[in-house]
Every structure is written in structure tokens, then in C-alpha cells.
Amino acid sequence: MTFDELLRLPVKGFMEDHEARRLFELGLAAAPLGPCLEIGSYCGKSALFLGEACRRSGGILFSIDHHRGSEEQQPGEAYHDPELVDPATGLVDTFRFFRRTLDLADLTGAVVPIVTQSRVAARAWATPLSLVFIDGGHTFEAAETDYVCWSGHVKQGGLLVIHDIFFDPAAGGQAPRHVYELALASGLWEELPMTGTLGALRRRPAA
């Protein structure tokens, strides 16, 4: 599918169109170098763009989510969506929506869902990655865990991409900004232009 066709699919998510286009372009640049991985699949909106980017070069996207919804998506919280509750269990279950998205976009051959917490998936991970996209839980603990568990798997020349970076605390939660700044302070990453709240860093070659 073209980017514009992907954008028109009825998929729930929290990403502006210009951020989605940037994510797609970063995916196209990275995917020929190796597998991509995202943390925070939700209903599959970002997997559309990264997955299609991977598919075009015969690559693969691993997409990690426990699919029980993040803290702010639980009943009574600001981002709760009653449609996502499985009536059989009363629990949020976004995996059904994620699968539907992959089917809609014909991406089942390019996207591998990993249904667990990112820290569990990381325990035995050994595959170098061309791109890691952090868009999971937005508590400081969750975001920092994702950064600590996954950023070290990005190859030299590969990309670390972080969503929902707000430099004004009044505009949004600060955990993604915190990990973005941790990465910058490490000296391992070169800063690329930001698009909206989407930050992108390229792993420097070893000195």
C-alpha cells in the first residue's frame, strides 16, 4: 500500500499525520540494514508505517505490546476507550484490533507481534536492530526500562526513535523527553531533526 492508503485505514491511534510520514521515511531508511522493532503496538497504527517500510525491502518488524493497555488507558483514566475492553474478561485487549490492522494492510508477512512486556521480551534478545521505536508506557519507569532494555541493540548507523517528546511540561508527560535526553547525554547518538513530538537519533560509529 502507499503511505496515503495506509493513512486512510480506520485504525485507532495517537499519531499525527506528519509524524506518521516521518516514521515511515525513517523505517524506509533503516529497514535495509536489518530488522526493526517497536515497543507499544496498541492497535497497530505505527506498525502500518514501519511494517510497510520493512515489507518493501523484504525486512521484518517486531512489535511488542502486552496488549492490556497502558496505565492511562485503564477504566476511569484519561485515555480509556471502552471499545477496547474484551467483554468476556472485562480487560483491555488491543491485540484483536492489532491483528485486524495487520490483515487490513496485508502485513502479516512482515510484522511479528510479540505479546508480552518489553522487559520480558528483552531477556533473551540477541538480534541487532536497524531501528528501535519507543512508544510504550509513558511512566518514567516504563519509558526508562524500554530505553535500557532496547537501545543497546541498535546497530551502528541504526536509529532510535522516540514518540511523545514534549519540551513544555504543560503540553504532555515528560518520560519520553527524559529518555531522549538520557540518550543524548550518553554521547552514543547523533540527533536528527524532530518532527512534531517524534525524536530520532542515529547511532554513531564506534570511536
Which residues pair with residue 192 across a beta bridge? 200
The b/e string for 135-158 (b: 16+ C-beta within 10 A; e otherwise) is bbbbeeebbebbbebbbebbeeeb
Alpha-carbon distance values, 128 to 31, 33, 145 (Å): 12, 10, 18
Interacting residues toward Mg ion by CB under 5 A: 135, 163-164
Distance CA 42, CA 67 (A): 6
In 3D space, the residue among 145, 151, 136 whose CA is nearest the CA of residue 187 turns out to be 151
Select 57 or 74, whichever has its Cβ closest to Mg ion.
Answer: 74
Select 146 or 164, whichever has its Cβ closest to Mg ion.
Answer: 164
Candidate list 66, 67, 138, 163, residue with the active-site label: 138
Please confirm, yes or no, whether 163 is among the known catalytic residues.
no
Select 52 or 164, whichever has its Cβ closest to Mg ion.
Answer: 164
Distance in Å, CB of 197 to Mg ion, minimum: 8
Distance in Å, CB of 203 to Mg ion, minimum: 22
- Residue closest to Mg ion (Cβ): 163
Q: Counting Cβ atoms within 10 Å, is residue 128 exposed (0-12), middle (13-18) or buried (19+)?
A: middle
User: Residue 50, SS3?
Assistant: helix
Select 128 or 140, whichever has its Cβ closest to Mg ion.
Answer: 140
Distance in Å, CB of 48 to Mg ion, minimum: 14
List residues with catalytic annotation. Answer: 138
